[in-house]
A and B are shown apart, each in its own frame.
Chain A
Amino acid sequence: MYAEVDVEKCTGCRVCEKVCPTLSINVVGEKKEKLAVVDLDTCAGCGACAERCQFEAVVLKTLDEPKVISVDPHSVDEEKIYELCVKASLHPEQIICYCTGTRAEEVAAAILMGASSPEEVSRMTGVRTGCKVECIQPILRLLKAAGIEPKPLKDGWQWYGITPTIWDIPEDVVKKYSARGFYFEEDRALFKKLLDTIKAGGE
């Protein structure tokens, strides 16, 4: 799929720019001439622009030939991928994008190949181009594990920041709410068991 702009309807309001996870739609021109333009080389057809344009000026069209967006984790040192994933408390095989089925190892590989922002990760792997919602935090965690702390785009709404994980929850909060059904300690044990399978060499 790819995004197509209806020039008759586009007002150049820039909302599409603010929500595009691959920075593939940009408004060009001045004043009344302003118009959104799509970069078809990087557009992943996620539809964020089409879904938020209040003028219904963007539609999704089907590509003549499907486009595959992915990074081969085997093209990067496996040890380094594992190291990065473990540092981010993610199992390398753990799915982090439920829409594209992308696993942590592929995002780690993209970062090791030079991706330094969620937008670059998305362009290389396709994550964040399905629902556009659920996978931002593991991407930020893997970037942080690689020593990269990207800044959100000025005026962009793509993402704002990294948020806490179960490992960051203060102990007093864990204790306070355990009797209310929040089983943080038990869930930590579950994650630990998952991560321990890497150390044990399990797959």
Chain B
Amino acid sequence: MNIRFNKPVKPLPPKPSRYGPDPEHIKTRACDLKNIVSVKVRDLFPDITESIYPSEKGVKAVREATVNALEKVDMNMIKPKDSVNILGSHHGFTILGGEPYAEMLKTIKDVIMDRTGAENIRLRVGVGLRFRESDEYIKRFGLDDYFNKRARGVAPIDEGIPIETEIGTLYGIKRCYDADWIVHAHNSDVREIHFHRHVDRAVKPFGMSYARLETRSTYHQNLGPRGANFVARAIFNSEFVQKKWTFATFLKPTPAGIAGVDADNDLFALDERLSIDNFRYYGKVLTLLSHIEDCIAVLDFQAPIPYVFSAGMIFANFSAASIDIFDLDYPLPGYTWYTEAFYGKNDKPLIPDISPVNPAVKAMVINYAWGGYPSVFWAKMIPTIVVGEWQADVFRRDPQNIEFMRHAVVAEDLEAAIEFAIKIADTDKIIVFDGAPGVINVSESLAEELVEKASEVDMEVEQKLLPKWCRQRGIKLEGYADVPAH
């Protein structure tokens, strides 16, 4: 493969948030370091769908794609006097600055109003463990005004509602379900494969973003590393939810950008479509990254440690990729909460089935990241250097990371941190998780390694892994023979 390396692509500027450091402090970005270059994802894997965003059309392309996708959706159940809750998640706003997702939400509202005459349309946006995060996005993108003061963030500690399911009572957030109808507006990228294992990916928010803490705890403590996401299916299939169900609309990112928008009344049909695309595109990127032999990971994005991006892949997935985390034959990825739970007091695994944190990550430099997610596990497992007291204070003041800085050191600036990391990691290969669109910002030495391995990975995924991943989930893949699921 003959690929010319490009100048590094600048990530979006830091955003002010109660969960992160003051953007004023983030003066040097990882892409400013010498020897950093960018590799275009579509140069590595040319079959990845071309993006509609970023493009010359800007977010208009997302509006058009949403309108087109919704044309095939039935909205006849919504009557003019009915109330409708469009259910969203904070995740969508972390993709390429958040504007595409915000535009999709606005367009869904407009189309519902045009087609049904309904005016009482609300926006409810779920969160992870940073309960004000969605409120910050609602304000930033003017969604409150757009939804006539009917937009609000909802959190897992807000008032709940019991939902009877085929496995027993689970609990949703009452405000998500306080309308006649619900619309599920999400994003299709793989995100937390280590948690959901890409089983019912499209259904997950019913067990998480729209769910109370009891349900989320069931997911992460009660059902096991491969059965966890069943809480989402159980809630979605409940009579309570089905009575309110209308359709789903998903923003469709790829590792290269936004490929389009998909919509369907049948959530499981949509899930099958996005699963195949994700296995094919994100599967190739993650498999390639998992072939890296050693590297320093530099985190430089406005999100908590696990959710910083490189080529659309979150750091948690990379840190978990000591095994093929799409492959359900492996019970525990190198990182997931079940994995973390199964380390004993001596920080050694309690059973031999525990995969280590990706041993290729020899050091982690945190130039810019948020708190608001329990992250001490990474600091314990990977030598960690935090850039600046301002970034260290984010962790020190975070109730979810009270022990984090006991396991990390502070460097005065990014250059010093990298210099130290190279010494302890004994490698000059650097991968940057900065969310730069459509590229991976890496050191030249790592760029060469990625380019060298890409075509082999492409073949491995197409011929071997993709059929296996689909087969394990009962997903029929056109052009491949039917094989019993598992």
Flag if A137 contacts B399 (CB, 8 Å).
Answer: no
Q: Are A136 and B214 in contact (CB under 8 A)?
A: yes
Return the CB mask of A156-192 against B: 1 if under 8 Å, else 0: 0111110111101110010001111111101110110
Judge if A62 is at the interface, Cβ distance under 8 Å.
yes
Interface of B is mostly: loop
Residue of chain B at shortest CB distance from A136: B217
Q: Are A197 and B225 closer than 8 Å at their CB atoms?
A: no
Total interface residues on B, CB under 8 Å, equals 66
Indicate with 1 or 0, residue by residue over B428-459, a CB within 8 angstroms of chain A CB atoms: 00000000000000000000000000000000
Q: B178 interface residue, CB < 8 Å from A?
A: no
CB <8 Å contact, A130 and B374: yes
Chain A residues with CB below 8 A from B227, complex form: 166, 169, 182-184, 187
Residue in B213, B223, B472 whose Cβ sees the most chain A Cβ within 10 Å:
B213
In this complex, the interface size class of chain A, counting residues with CB under 8 Å from chain B, is 35 or more
Determine which of B169, B216, B473 lies in contact with A180 in the assembled complex, contact meaning CB atoms within 8 Å.
Answer: B473
Cβ of B403 within 8 Å of any chain A Cβ, yes or no, is yes
Q: How far is the CA of A93 from the CA of B350 in the complex (A)?
A: 8
A93 CA to B349 CA in the complex, in Å?
Answer: 10
Tell me the A89-126 residues at the B interface (CB within 8 Å).
Answer: 91, 93-96, 98-101, 103
Which of A5-13, A28-36, A40-48, A78-86 faces chain B?
Answer: A40-48
Q: Contacts of B224 on A, CB cut-off 8 Å?
A: 166, 183-184, 187-188, 190-191
Check B216 against A133 for contact (C-beta < 8 Å): yes
Known: A180-B474, A181-B474, A182-B226. A101 touches B403 (CB 8 A): yes
Cβ < 8 Å to A, chain B residues 336-360? 337, 340-345, 350-351, 353
The 18 sampled A-B contact pairs (Cβ below 8 Å) are: A60-B399, A94-B342, A98-B376, A131-B373, A134-B217, A137-B221, A160-B160, A160-B212, A160-B214, A163-B218, A168-B167, A168-B168, A169-B230, A181-B198, A181-B226, A183-B226, A184-B224, A194-B351
Determine whether the beta carbon of A96 is less than 8 Å from that of B222: no
Q: Are A197 and B350 in contact (CB under 8 A)?
A: yes
B269 at the interface (CB under 8 A from A): no
Interface pair B351/A51, CB less than 8 Å apart? no
**Closest 6 A/B residue pairs (Cβ):** A187-B224, A181-B199, A179-B485, A181-B473, A183-B226, A51-B131
Number of residue pairs across A and B with beta carbons under 8 Å? 201
Let me know if A58 is at the binding interface, CB within 8 A: no
Residues of B contacting A91 in the complex (Cβ-Cβ under 8 angstroms):
342, 350
Which residues on A are within 8 Å of B, measured CB to CB? Answer: 1, 18-19, 44-48, 51-52, 60, 62, 91, 93-96, 98-101, 103, 129-138, 141, 157-161, 163-166, 168-170, 173, 177-184, 186-188, 190-191, 193-194, 197, 202-203
Shortest CB-to-CB span from A85 to chain B, Å, is: 12
Which of chain A's residues have a CB closer than 8 A to the CB of B168?
A: 163-164, 168
A130 touches B167 (CB 8 A): no
Among the stretches B23-31, B54-62, B150-158, B308-316, the one at the interface with A is B150-158
B22 at the interface (CB under 8 A from A): no
Minimum CB distance partner of A62 in chain B: B397
In angstroms, how far is the closest chain A Cβ from the Cβ of B314? Answer: 17
Contact B213 A136 (CB under 8 A): yes
B79 contacts partner chain A, Cβ-Cβ < 8 Å: no
With A173-B167, A181-B474 as known contacts, state yes or no: A159 contacts B213, CB within 8 Å. yes
For the complex, give the distance between the alpha carbons of A48 and B170 in Å: 22
A1 CB contacts on chain B under 8 angstroms: 397, 399
Cβ–Cβ < 8 Å partners of A197 in chain B: 350-351
Bound together, the chains give a CA A203 to CA B348 distance in angstroms of 10
B342 — which chain A residues lie within 8 A by C-beta? 91, 94, 194
- Residue interface mask B68-94, A partner, CB < 8 A = 1: 000000000000000000000000000
Instruction: Give the docked Cα–Cα distance between A161 and B225 (Å).
Output: 22
Q: Is B220 an interface residue (CB 8 A)?
A: yes
A47 neighbours in B (Cβ, 8 Å): 399
**A31 to B399 CA separation, bound complex (whole angstroms):** 33
- Is B340 within 8 A of A98, CB to CB? yes
What separation, in Å, do the CA atoms of A87 and B344 have in the docked complex? 19
- Would B331 and A137 count as touching, CB distance under 8 A? no
Q: Which residues of B contact A (CB under 8 A)?
A: 129, 131-132, 155-160, 162, 166-171, 197-200, 212-218, 220-227, 229-230, 233, 328, 331-332, 337, 340-345, 350-351, 353, 373-374, 376-377, 397, 399-403, 472-474, 485-486
A190 to chain B, nearest CB (A): 5
Q: Using known A-B contacts A51-B155, A137-B217, A187-B227, determine if residue A181 contacts B399 with beta carbons closer than 8 Å.
A: no
Q: Which residues of chain A come closer than 8 Å to B220, judged between CB atoms?
A: 134
CB distance from A42 to the nearest CB of B (A): 15
Contacts of B353 in A (CB 8 A): 190, 193
> Is the CB–CB distance between A173 and B399 below 8 Å?
no
- Within the assembled complex, what's the spacing in Å between the Cα atoms of A44 and B400? 12
Q: Which residue of B lies closest to A203 (CB)?
A: B344
Q: Of the candidates B169, B222, B350, which one forms a contact with A137 in the assembled complex, judged by CB atoms under 8 Å apart?
A: B222
CB <8 Å contact, A135 and B217: yes
Measured in the bound complex, the distance between the Cα atoms of B472 and A101 in whole Å is: 34
Q: Max chain B CB contacts within 10 Å: which of A165, A177, A183?
A: A183
* Cβ A130 vs Cβ B331 within 8 A: no
Residues of chain A lying within 8 A (CB to CB) of residue B402: 99-100, 130
- Give the distance in Å from the alpha carbon of A66 to the alpha carbon of B19 in the complex: 21
Q: Given contacts A48-B131, A161-B214, could you give 13 more A-B pairs where the C-beta distance is less than 8 Å?
A: A52-B157, A132-B157, A134-B221, A137-B217, A137-B221, A138-B217, A163-B171, A163-B214, A166-B224, A177-B230, A179-B486, A181-B200, A187-B225
